[in-house]
Amino acid sequence: MAAPAAERGASGERGRTPDVAGVLVLGACAAWSLLSAAGREARPEGILLAVLAVSAGYACGRIFGTLLPVAAAATASLAALGLALASGPGVPGAAPAASVPPGHAGAAAALLVLASGAACCAAAAAGSAYGRLLPRLLAAAVAGVALALGSVVGCVAALGVLLCSLATVRTRRRGLGLAGLALVTGLVVGASWAVAEEALPEGLTVFAEDGLTSHRVLLWRDAVALAEENPLLGAGPDRFGALSATSWETFAADGTPHSAPLQQAAEQGVPGVVLLGAAYGWLLWGLWLSPRTNAVVLTAGATLTGLAVLATVGNALSFAPVTAGAGLLAGLATARSATTDTGGP
């Protein structure tokens, strides 16, 4: 009996380690936003709200994921889909002149990805073939809704999460899958920085500007310029809109560069970017150590990676429902459930 008891103790200790790391990382994010805002006309409230939203979502996900893993994920999917529909038209892919502000467009696409991911997590956690079919149909419906709303990006991302979920059914090595997802995110972040720095060959730069719009690329270049002026503390939270010449000249500008890493670099310096990356890394690490099956873990990882990609080329993380939804999904995928088989790292 001593060996099983020791194994349970080690498993419990391993399960607590990501929680402690999460407290430290999120606490550091909040503290650094306050430090970078000190002595300036900066507003760190947005960062503090995002930290609170992630924390609250994660805690709720852990609780409800333990009690009702399938029902909680399915409910989260429907809630995210409802919020995306309530945000109206104008998701990525719609005309720039749409009545919905560009920022809300990115938030709607992110909610659609979260809806698809939560539905696929519900399918992966279900114990019967019928129980898996309905959530997967819901995920497919989310992709259809995204297309109906005019979001090619949202549709592709939702379908991508669904395909990843189907591919993870027989996956045995979650670590390799999560490492691949982290690499994808790193490549997208690096590419966005290269576009902002004009470090790409001319042909690729023109292609990127056509896909991203020249206005967004100009915002990114303003963000890089601000980061280079003060690489340690940045310009201060929520000050990009006041300091960016491109933002001044834009009608109905939302005051962000439409890229979370570049916004962190411009407003909170290199430490802000490092902390943002640490928060993403913490989520993936928690998934790697999760007691849930590999299918649930990798589905959640694919969803969070899709969200990270959208946040790299948009400002989806500026909206509390998105950050809370990301925390909720991570909590659901790391919750302990007596009905879930352990799929170990």
- Whole-number Å distance between alpha carbons of 73 and 244: 40
For the cut 70, the answer to whether the pLDDT of residue 287 exceeds it is: yes
DSSP symbols for 70-121: HHHHHHHHHHHHHHHHHT-S--BTB-TT-SS-HHHHHHHHHHHHHHHHHHHH
- Whole-number Å distance between alpha carbons of 271 and 286: 22
Residue 300 near residue 117, CB atoms below 8 Å: yes
Residue 288 near residue 175, CB atoms below 8 Å: yes
For the cut 60, the answer to whether the pLDDT of residue 169 exceeds it is: yes
> Which pLDDT does position 170 carry in this prediction?
79
- Mean pLDDT check: name the lowest of 19-33, 247-261, 277-291: 247-261
- Whole-number Å distance between alpha carbons of 194 and 191: 5
Using pLDDT thresholds of 50, 70 and 90, give the confidence band for residue 266.
Answer: very high
pTM: 0.89
Q: Could you tell me the sign of the dihedral formed by the alpha carbons of 129, 135, 141, 142, in that order?
A: negative
pLDDT in tens, 215-258: 899 999 999 999 999 999 999 999 999 999 888 876 556 788 99
- Whole-number Å distance between alpha carbons of 202 and 74: 46
- Taking alpha carbons only, the member of 174, 110, 152 closest to residue 328 is 110
Residue 258 near residue 216, CB atoms below 8 Å: yes
> Which pLDDT does position 248 carry in this prediction?
82
pLDDT in tens, 65-122: 999 999 999 999 999 999 998 875 444 433 333 344 444 567 889 999 999 999 999 9
Dig out the tokens for 158 from the structure. 């939702």
> Which pLDDT does position 251 carry in this prediction?
58
> Which pLDDT does position 102 carry in this prediction?
47
For range 26-33, the mean pLDDT: 97
